[in-house]
Amino acid sequence: MDRSSRKRIALIGTGHRGTGMWGINVVKGYSDYVEIVALCDTNRLRAERARGFLGIDAPIYTDAQEMIATVKPDQVIVCTRDSNHDEMIVRALEAGVDVITEKPMTTTAEKVRRILEAEKRTGRRVDVTFNYRYAPTVRKIKELLNSGVIGDVTSIDFHWFLDNKHGADYFRRWHAVEENSGSLFVHKSTHHFDLMNWYLDDDPEQVFAFASLRKYGKVNPFRGERCKTCPHASCCDYYVDISKDPWLEALYEDPSREDGYVRDACVFREEINIPDTMSAMIRYQKGVQVTYSVNTYMPIEGHFIAFDGTKGRIQMRQFERQPWETPEHDEIQLVRNFGGVETIQVPHEPGGHFGGDPKLQDMLFKPGTPDPLNQRAGSRAGAMSVLCGIAALQSSKTGQMVSVSKLLDPAQAIAA
C-alpha cells in the first residue's frame, strides 16, 4: 500500500486505553493504513510518556481544539473521560473531522442528542468502539440468531460478573463518580446493552432497574486516601502496589504530580456515588423481554447469556478469569425444542477480548473490510446503548419504569 495515502489520525486521551489499544496497537499493526500525527492530553507528562511507548515523534498538545486547528487530522480517536466525550466529538465534527470514540459515546441524554445533531449537521461520521461485537463467540451467536435456528427470540437472560480485580479497579479510578462515568450502568453496561441491541436488531423501549452500593465506598468500616499511603494496607484485601506495575507507574504515578489524579485511589472512599450491584428488566420494541445483571465483586470474571426462542434455546457461559482451569475455547449449547442438544466449540483468537480488538481495528482502518454482520457501530448504536444505561440508572433512583425513546426525544415525554 502507498503509505503516502495513509489516514492522518490524532489521539485525544493518552491513558491506559488510549496509549495501549489506540496507540501502541495501531502503530504496530496498522501503520500501512494510518499515521498518528498528534497526541493530546490535559496532562502533558502523561502524553510524553505515551509518545515514548508509541515510539513516534508526533507533537503533543494539551488543548484539543488547538490541536485540531493546527494539525488538521482526517480523524480523531477520543479516549478521554466519558463525561467530556461529547465536547471532544462535537469539536472535531464541527472542524470537519471524523471521530472514533471509545464507549460509552457519552453519559447523558442531553449529550447524546448534542452529538447526533452535530453529526447530522456536519455530515461527518462517528464510530463507536464496541469491540465485544467482534469476539469470535459473539459473532457465532449472531450468526445462529440470524439463521432462525431457534425461531423468534422471546426472552434473554444476561448476567455479567466482574471479579475482585477488574470490578474493584473501576472504584479506584474516576469511573467511581457518577458525574464522570454516568455510573457502570453507562460505562460498563453500554457494552452489554449494545450487544443485545445488535443481537436482536431492535431498540430497547422500557427499562426498570434496581441498583445499590453494597461493597465499596462508604459502606466499608475503614478507608484511606490511596493504597500507596494507606494505614490499612496490611489488612485490606483490595490493597494494590502500583509501583510493581511499570506501565501504570509511567502513565499515572509520575504524571499525578501535574493534576493530582492517582491510579490507586481507595475503593472505600466516601466520594464514591455509583452502584456496584445492578439489575434490570428491559422490554424491546418487538416484545423481547430481558433479565440483566452486573456485579462488581465476584470471585469469577465473565458472563452467562441465554436466548429463548419459539423453536429452542441458545446458551453460553464465557470464562475470563476463574479460580480453576478453563479451556482455550468457548462452548455454545444449541438446544432445539424437539431435536436434542448441539455443542458448538468456538476457539479463542489472538488479541484482546478473545480476538475482538484486532477485528474491530481491521474494520476501522483497513479499507474494504467486509461487514456482513453489521458489526461496525455508528452514533445511533452508541446512543441507544447509552440511553438504555441512563434509563436503568434513572429507574433505580426513582422506582419508575423509564422510556428509552422519550429520553432520545423529550418532545414525546412532553406530549405524553
* Pure H helices in 35-188: 44-54, 64-71, 85-94, 109-122, 136-147, 166-172, 178-181, 184-187
**Span 23-44, pLDDT tens digits:** 999 999 999 999 999 999 999 9
Half-sphere exposure of 134 (CA within 13 A, CB side): 24
195 and 231 housed in the same domain: no
Is 2 domain-assigned?
Answer: no
The answer to whether residues 209 and 119 belong to one domain is no
Same domain, 298 and 395: yes
Whose CA is closest to 290, among 306, 271, 310, 270?
306
pLDDT at 252 over 70: yes
Residue 415 has a pLDDT of: 47
CATH number, domain of 192, equals 3.30.360.10
Same domain? For 187 and 311 the reply is yes
pLDDT of residue 410: 79
Residue 342 shares a structural domain with residue 395: yes
The residue from 130, 146, 166 where one domain ends is 130
CATH number where 43 lies: 3.40.50.720
Distance (Å) of CA 206 to CA 287, 335, 401: 10, 29, 7
Residue 303 sits in the same domain as residue 154: yes
- Same domain (yes/no): 396, 325: yes
Alpha-carbon distance 29 to 367, whole Å? 14
> What pLDDT, in 10s, does the model give residues 96-145?
999 999 999 999 999 999 999 999 999 999 999 999 999 999 999 999 99
Q: How many domains does the chain have?
A: 3
101 and 136 inside one domain = no
Task: List the domain range (segments joined by +) for residue 346.
Answer: 132-216+272-408
Number of residues that make up the chain: 416
pTM for this entry: 0.96
For the beta sheet containing 34-40, the strands, ordered from the edge strand earlier in sequence to the opposite edge, are: 60-61, 34-40, 7-12, 75-78, 98-101, 126-128, 377-378
Cβ contact 298:167 at 8 Å: yes
Query: Do 45 and 152 belong together in one domain?
Result: no
- With contact defined as beta carbons under 8 Å apart, do 289 and 155 qualify? yes
Q: Give the C-alpha distances (Å, rounded to integers) separating 107 from 2, 99, 112, 216, 241.
A: 39, 17, 8, 22, 31
Residue 1 is assigned to a structural domain of this protein = no
CA distance 82 to 102: 8
Convert the pLDDT of each residue in 138-180 to its tens digit: 999 999 999 999 999 999 999 999 999 999 999 999 999 999 9
